[in-house]
Structure 1
Amino acid sequence: MGAKISTSGSAKRGTFQTNAEPNIIPFVDVMLVLLIIFMVAAPIATVDIKVTLPESKVLPSKRPPKPTYVSLNNDSGSATYFVGNNQVDPMEIGQEVLKEVPRNDREADTLEKIITTRIYVRANTDTPYRNVVFIMNRLQEEGFFKVALVGEDTRR
Protein backbone atom coordinates (compact mmCIF):
# COMPACT_ATOMS: atom_id res chain seq x y z
CA MET A 1 0.00 0.00 0.00
CA GLY A 2 1.07 3.50 -0.60
CA ALA A 3 0.46 6.70 1.29
CA LYS A 4 -0.67 10.13 0.15
CA ILE A 5 1.73 12.96 0.78
CA SER A 6 -0.65 15.81 0.18
CA THR A 7 -3.73 15.82 2.32
CA SER A 8 -7.03 17.49 1.93
CA GLY A 9 -8.09 20.06 4.43
CA SER A 10 -10.09 17.63 6.56
CA ALA A 11 -7.18 15.44 7.69
CA LYS A 12 -4.99 16.21 10.68
CA ARG A 13 -1.57 17.62 10.03
CA GLY A 14 1.16 14.95 10.09
CA THR A 15 -1.09 11.95 9.31
CA PHE A 16 -1.17 10.14 5.99
CA GLN A 17 -4.15 8.57 4.32
CA THR A 18 -3.73 5.09 2.92
CA ASN A 19 -3.81 4.67 -0.84
CA ALA A 20 -5.34 1.46 -2.34
CA GLU A 21 -3.66 1.80 -5.76
CA PRO A 22 -0.81 -0.69 -6.31
CA ASN A 23 2.64 0.63 -7.02
CA ILE A 24 3.71 -1.27 -10.16
CA ILE A 25 6.92 0.61 -10.89
CA PRO A 26 9.16 -1.85 -8.96
CA PHE A 27 7.37 -4.73 -10.70
CA VAL A 28 8.09 -3.23 -14.15
CA ASP A 29 11.73 -2.64 -13.19
CA VAL A 30 12.18 -6.27 -12.14
CA MET A 31 10.50 -7.54 -15.32
CA LEU A 32 12.75 -5.41 -17.54
CA VAL A 33 15.87 -6.69 -15.75
CA LEU A 34 14.68 -10.30 -16.18
CA LEU A 35 13.94 -9.66 -19.86
CA ILE A 36 17.47 -8.39 -20.42
CA ILE A 37 18.95 -11.37 -18.56
CA PHE A 38 16.98 -13.85 -20.69
CA MET A 39 17.86 -12.03 -23.92
CA VAL A 40 21.56 -12.31 -23.06
CA ALA A 41 21.34 -15.91 -21.85
CA ALA A 42 19.25 -17.31 -24.75
CA PRO A 43 22.07 -17.40 -27.36
CA ILE A 44 24.31 -19.17 -24.87
CA ALA A 45 21.83 -22.09 -24.69
CA THR A 46 22.11 -22.73 -28.44
CA VAL A 47 25.79 -23.61 -28.56
CA ASP A 48 26.68 -26.13 -31.27
CA ILE A 49 28.29 -29.24 -29.87
CA LYS A 50 29.84 -31.69 -32.31
CA VAL A 51 28.25 -35.11 -31.78
CA THR A 52 28.97 -38.16 -33.89
CA LEU A 53 25.69 -40.01 -34.32
CA PRO A 54 25.48 -43.65 -35.39
CA GLU A 55 24.36 -44.41 -38.93
CA SER A 56 20.81 -45.59 -39.45
CA LYS A 57 20.31 -49.24 -40.38
CA VAL A 58 16.69 -48.70 -41.44
CA LEU A 59 16.02 -48.55 -45.16
CA PRO A 60 13.69 -45.78 -46.27
CA SER A 61 10.18 -47.02 -46.93
CA LYS A 62 9.01 -47.21 -50.51
CA ARG A 63 6.35 -44.81 -51.68
CA PRO A 64 3.08 -46.68 -52.16
CA PRO A 65 1.90 -46.91 -55.75
CA LYS A 66 -0.70 -44.49 -57.02
CA PRO A 67 -4.14 -46.12 -56.80
CA THR A 68 -6.04 -47.03 -59.96
CA TYR A 69 -9.61 -45.75 -60.00
CA VAL A 70 -12.53 -46.79 -62.15
CA SER A 71 -15.20 -44.10 -61.86
CA LEU A 72 -18.82 -44.10 -62.85
CA ASN A 73 -20.65 -40.83 -63.39
CA ASN A 74 -24.42 -41.02 -63.77
CA ASP A 75 -25.53 -37.71 -65.27
CA SER A 76 -29.21 -37.44 -66.26
CA GLY A 77 -29.65 -41.20 -66.45
CA SER A 78 -26.75 -41.97 -68.80
CA ALA A 79 -23.70 -43.66 -67.32
CA THR A 80 -20.21 -42.43 -68.20
CA TYR A 81 -17.23 -44.67 -67.35
CA PHE A 82 -13.71 -43.49 -66.56
CA VAL A 83 -10.42 -45.30 -65.96
CA GLY A 84 -8.17 -42.84 -64.20
CA ASN A 85 -9.10 -39.54 -65.87
CA ASN A 86 -9.89 -40.98 -69.30
CA GLN A 87 -13.41 -41.71 -70.49
CA VAL A 88 -13.70 -45.28 -71.80
CA ASP A 89 -16.21 -47.51 -73.54
CA PRO A 90 -18.01 -49.69 -70.95
CA MET A 91 -17.10 -52.92 -72.75
CA GLU A 92 -13.36 -52.04 -72.73
CA ILE A 93 -12.99 -51.22 -69.01
CA GLY A 94 -10.89 -54.31 -68.29
CA GLN A 95 -8.47 -53.65 -71.16
CA GLU A 96 -8.07 -50.01 -70.17
CA VAL A 97 -7.35 -50.97 -66.55
CA LEU A 98 -4.67 -53.39 -67.81
CA LYS A 99 -3.02 -50.40 -69.53
CA GLU A 100 -3.53 -47.98 -66.60
CA VAL A 101 -2.08 -50.08 -63.76
CA PRO A 102 1.53 -50.08 -65.07
CA ARG A 103 1.33 -46.28 -65.43
CA ASN A 104 0.41 -45.94 -61.75
CA ASP A 105 2.63 -48.70 -60.33
CA ARG A 106 6.09 -49.00 -61.89
CA GLU A 107 6.69 -52.35 -60.16
CA ALA A 108 3.69 -53.93 -61.90
CA ASP A 109 5.61 -55.07 -64.95
CA THR A 110 4.23 -58.58 -65.37
CA LEU A 111 0.63 -59.66 -65.94
CA GLU A 112 0.59 -61.46 -62.58
CA LYS A 113 1.58 -58.29 -60.71
CA ILE A 114 -0.89 -56.21 -62.71
CA ILE A 115 -3.92 -58.38 -61.96
CA THR A 116 -3.05 -58.63 -58.24
CA THR A 117 -3.21 -54.85 -57.92
CA ARG A 118 -6.21 -53.48 -56.03
CA ILE A 119 -8.63 -51.52 -58.24
CA TYR A 120 -10.86 -48.88 -56.65
CA VAL A 121 -14.40 -48.39 -57.97
CA ARG A 122 -16.29 -45.19 -57.20
CA ALA A 123 -19.67 -43.96 -58.35
CA ASN A 124 -22.21 -41.19 -57.74
CA THR A 125 -24.81 -41.72 -55.04
CA ASP A 126 -27.65 -41.75 -57.57
CA THR A 127 -26.02 -44.47 -59.70
CA PRO A 128 -27.95 -47.75 -59.93
CA TYR A 129 -26.11 -50.60 -58.27
CA ARG A 130 -26.38 -52.73 -61.43
CA ASN A 131 -23.93 -50.32 -63.14
CA VAL A 132 -21.40 -50.80 -60.33
CA VAL A 133 -21.78 -54.58 -60.58
CA PHE A 134 -21.30 -54.25 -64.35
CA ILE A 135 -17.89 -52.62 -63.75
CA MET A 136 -16.95 -55.31 -61.24
CA ASN A 137 -17.91 -58.04 -63.75
CA ARG A 138 -15.81 -56.43 -66.51
CA LEU A 139 -12.83 -56.28 -64.14
CA GLN A 140 -13.34 -59.89 -63.06
CA GLU A 141 -13.43 -61.04 -66.69
CA GLU A 142 -9.92 -59.56 -67.13
CA GLY A 143 -8.65 -61.30 -63.99
CA PHE A 144 -8.91 -58.46 -61.43
CA PHE A 145 -10.27 -59.98 -58.24
CA LYS A 146 -9.03 -57.34 -55.78
CA VAL A 147 -11.72 -54.72 -56.22
CA ALA A 148 -12.60 -52.16 -53.56
CA LEU A 149 -15.58 -49.83 -53.42
CA VAL A 150 -14.82 -46.24 -52.45
CA GLY A 151 -17.18 -44.55 -50.01
CA GLU A 152 -17.42 -40.96 -48.90
CA ASP A 153 -15.66 -40.14 -45.64
CA THR A 154 -18.33 -38.54 -43.44
CA ARG A 155 -16.13 -38.06 -40.37
CA ARG A 156 -15.61 -34.39 -39.63
Structure 2
Amino acid sequence: MAGKLAGSGGGKRGRIEVTADPNVIPFIDVMLVLLIIFMIAAPISTVDIQVDMPTSRINPSQRPPRPTWISISEADGSIRYYVMNDEVGINELGEKAFEEWRANTPGNVAFDECLLAETTKAPYCRIYIRADSGTAYRNVVRVMNRLQDKGFTRIGFVAEDRRS
Protein backbone atom coordinates (compact mmCIF):
# COMPACT_ATOMS: atom_id res chain seq x y z
CA MET A 1 0.00 0.00 0.00
CA ALA A 2 1.39 3.29 -1.01
CA GLY A 3 0.40 6.25 1.05
CA LYS A 4 1.78 9.27 2.73
CA LEU A 5 0.83 9.82 6.31
CA ALA A 6 2.60 13.07 6.93
CA GLY A 7 1.54 15.62 4.40
CA SER A 8 3.88 18.33 3.30
CA GLY A 9 1.24 20.85 2.48
CA GLY A 10 -0.86 21.14 -0.59
CA GLY A 11 -3.74 19.10 0.80
CA LYS A 12 -6.53 19.69 3.25
CA ARG A 13 -5.72 19.30 6.85
CA GLY A 14 -6.30 15.80 8.23
CA ARG A 15 -6.53 14.06 4.83
CA ILE A 16 -4.01 11.46 3.63
CA GLU A 17 -2.49 12.06 0.22
CA VAL A 18 -2.33 9.04 -2.10
CA THR A 19 0.75 8.59 -4.23
CA ALA A 20 1.05 6.62 -7.47
CA ASP A 21 4.40 5.02 -6.57
CA PRO A 22 4.29 1.22 -7.02
CA ASN A 23 4.97 -0.93 -4.01
CA VAL A 24 8.00 -3.05 -4.92
CA ILE A 25 8.50 -4.72 -1.55
CA PRO A 26 6.49 -7.91 -2.41
CA PHE A 27 8.38 -8.13 -5.72
CA ILE A 28 11.72 -7.93 -3.92
CA ASP A 29 10.58 -10.58 -1.41
CA VAL A 30 9.64 -12.99 -4.21
CA MET A 31 12.94 -12.39 -6.01
CA LEU A 32 14.94 -13.07 -2.84
CA VAL A 33 13.08 -16.33 -2.24
CA LEU A 34 13.73 -17.41 -5.85
CA LEU A 35 17.40 -16.50 -5.50
CA ILE A 36 17.69 -18.67 -2.39
CA ILE A 37 15.95 -21.59 -4.13
CA PHE A 38 18.27 -21.39 -7.15
CA MET A 39 21.34 -21.08 -4.96
CA ILE A 40 20.37 -24.30 -3.20
CA ALA A 41 19.28 -26.20 -6.33
CA ALA A 42 22.23 -25.30 -8.61
CA PRO A 43 24.93 -27.30 -6.79
CA ILE A 44 22.66 -30.34 -6.64
CA SER A 45 22.44 -30.56 -10.44
CA THR A 46 26.23 -30.39 -10.88
CA VAL A 47 27.26 -33.28 -8.66
CA ASP A 48 30.28 -35.18 -9.99
CA ILE A 49 29.66 -38.70 -8.80
CA GLN A 50 31.24 -41.56 -10.73
CA VAL A 51 28.71 -44.27 -11.49
CA ASP A 52 29.62 -47.57 -13.12
CA MET A 53 26.77 -48.14 -15.57
CA PRO A 54 26.02 -51.69 -16.71
CA THR A 55 26.90 -52.61 -20.27
CA SER A 56 24.09 -53.05 -22.79
CA ARG A 57 23.43 -56.40 -24.40
CA ILE A 58 21.21 -54.89 -27.10
CA ASN A 59 22.63 -54.48 -30.59
CA PRO A 60 22.50 -50.89 -31.84
CA SER A 61 19.79 -50.19 -34.38
CA GLN A 62 20.78 -50.33 -38.01
CA ARG A 63 21.63 -47.01 -39.55
CA PRO A 64 19.06 -45.83 -42.07
CA PRO A 65 20.16 -46.15 -45.67
CA ARG A 66 21.44 -43.24 -47.67
CA PRO A 67 18.71 -41.65 -49.76
CA THR A 68 19.04 -41.60 -53.54
CA TRP A 69 18.96 -38.06 -55.00
CA ILE A 70 18.19 -36.86 -58.50
CA SER A 71 19.18 -33.22 -59.10
CA ILE A 72 18.10 -31.07 -62.02
CA SER A 73 20.16 -28.00 -62.78
CA GLU A 74 19.56 -25.40 -65.45
CA ALA A 75 22.45 -23.15 -66.47
CA ASP A 76 22.98 -21.19 -69.68
CA GLY A 77 19.83 -22.66 -71.20
CA SER A 78 21.02 -26.27 -70.89
CA ILE A 79 19.51 -28.82 -68.52
CA ARG A 80 21.84 -31.05 -66.52
CA TYR A 81 20.73 -34.16 -64.67
CA TYR A 82 22.62 -35.63 -61.73
CA VAL A 83 22.17 -38.92 -59.92
CA MET A 84 23.80 -38.40 -56.54
CA ASN A 85 26.92 -36.43 -57.66
CA ASP A 86 27.36 -37.93 -61.13
CA GLU A 87 26.08 -36.10 -64.21
CA VAL A 88 24.07 -38.34 -66.54
CA GLY A 89 22.07 -37.93 -69.70
CA ILE A 90 18.28 -38.07 -69.61
CA ASN A 91 18.27 -41.46 -71.39
CA GLU A 92 20.63 -43.08 -68.85
CA LEU A 93 18.92 -41.54 -65.84
CA GLY A 94 16.68 -44.50 -64.96
CA GLU A 95 19.47 -47.08 -65.13
CA LYS A 96 21.92 -44.95 -63.13
CA ALA A 97 19.24 -44.21 -60.52
CA PHE A 98 18.59 -47.96 -60.17
CA GLU A 99 22.33 -48.64 -59.71
CA GLU A 100 22.63 -45.97 -57.02
CA TRP A 101 19.44 -47.16 -55.34
CA ARG A 102 20.84 -50.71 -55.24
CA ALA A 103 24.11 -49.41 -53.73
CA ASN A 104 22.23 -47.41 -51.05
CA THR A 105 19.73 -50.12 -50.11
CA PRO A 106 20.29 -52.92 -47.58
CA GLY A 107 21.33 -56.16 -49.28
CA ASN A 108 18.31 -58.20 -48.19
CA VAL A 109 15.72 -55.91 -49.84
CA ALA A 110 14.39 -56.87 -53.24
CA PHE A 111 13.27 -54.17 -55.65
CA ASP A 112 9.85 -55.85 -55.93
CA GLU A 113 9.27 -55.27 -52.19
CA CYS A 114 9.19 -51.51 -52.78
CA LEU A 115 6.39 -51.94 -55.29
CA LEU A 116 4.13 -53.61 -52.71
CA ALA A 117 1.67 -51.50 -50.74
CA GLU A 118 2.88 -52.78 -47.35
CA THR A 119 6.36 -51.32 -47.73
CA THR A 120 5.44 -47.80 -48.81
CA LYS A 121 6.73 -46.34 -45.54
CA ALA A 122 10.15 -47.93 -45.90
CA PRO A 123 12.70 -45.10 -46.25
CA TYR A 124 14.77 -46.93 -48.86
CA CYS A 125 11.86 -47.20 -51.31
CA ARG A 126 11.76 -43.50 -52.14
CA ILE A 127 13.78 -41.54 -54.71
CA TYR A 128 14.15 -37.80 -54.04
CA ILE A 129 14.12 -35.13 -56.74
CA ARG A 130 15.39 -31.60 -56.29
CA ALA A 131 15.55 -28.93 -58.96
CA ASP A 132 16.60 -25.33 -59.46
CA SER A 133 13.82 -22.83 -58.87
CA GLY A 134 13.94 -21.66 -62.49
CA THR A 135 13.68 -25.15 -63.97
CA ALA A 136 10.64 -25.72 -66.16
CA TYR A 137 8.15 -28.24 -64.80
CA ARG A 138 8.39 -30.31 -68.01
CA ASN A 139 12.01 -31.18 -67.11
CA VAL A 140 10.94 -32.50 -63.71
CA VAL A 141 8.19 -34.56 -65.40
CA ARG A 142 10.76 -36.03 -67.82
CA VAL A 143 12.82 -37.22 -64.85
CA MET A 144 9.73 -38.69 -63.20
CA ASN A 145 8.85 -40.51 -66.43
CA ARG A 146 12.35 -42.02 -66.69
CA LEU A 147 12.15 -43.18 -63.08
CA GLN A 148 8.68 -44.67 -63.60
CA ASP A 149 9.90 -46.47 -66.73
CA LYS A 150 12.51 -48.16 -64.54
CA GLY A 151 9.86 -49.09 -61.94
CA PHE A 152 10.21 -46.39 -59.30
CA THR A 153 6.78 -45.28 -58.10
CA ARG A 154 7.74 -43.72 -54.77
CA ILE A 155 9.12 -40.28 -55.68
CA GLY A 156 9.57 -37.38 -53.29
CA PHE A 157 10.26 -33.71 -53.99
CA VAL A 158 12.70 -31.71 -51.91
CA ALA A 159 12.26 -28.02 -51.17
CA GLU A 160 14.46 -25.60 -49.27
CA ASP A 161 13.06 -24.27 -46.01
CA ARG A 162 13.53 -20.50 -46.02
CA ARG A 163 11.26 -19.56 -43.11
CA SER A 164 14.09 -18.24 -40.95
**1:124 pairs with 2:140:** no
* Alpha carbons of structure 1 residues 48 and 83: separation in structure 2 relative to 1, 3 Å: closer
TM-score (norm 1): 0.61
CA-to-aligned-CA distance 1:50-100 (integer Å, 9 cap, x gap): 6x64x6575422211111001111112110111111111101211111111
Shift of 1:110: 2.8
Measure how far apart 1:114 and its partner are. 6.5
Equivalent residue letter for 1:65: P
1:139 matched to 2:147? The reply is yes
Query: 1:140: Cα distance to partner?
Result: 0.7
Q: TM-score scaled to structure 2, two decimals?
A: 0.58
Report the equivalent of 1:84: 84
> Over alpha carbons, which structure has the higher Rg?
1
- Are residues 109 and 75 of structure 1, via their aligned partners in 2, closer, same or farther at CA, if it must alter by over 3 Å? same
CA RMSD of aligned residues (A): 2.9
Kindly state the Cα deviation for residue 112 of structure 1 after the two structures are TM-superposed.
1.9
Q: 1:68 to 1:49 in 2, by over 3 A?
A: closer
**1:109 deviation in Å?**
5.0
AA aligned to 1:77 is G
Instruction: Give unpaired runs (5+ residues) of structure 2.
Output: 1-46
Please report how far the alpha carbon of residue 47 of structure 1 lies from its aligned counterpart in structure 2 after TM superposition.
Answer: 5.2
Structural mapping, 1:106-121, within 5 Å: 106-107=106-107, 109-113=109-113, 117-121=125-129
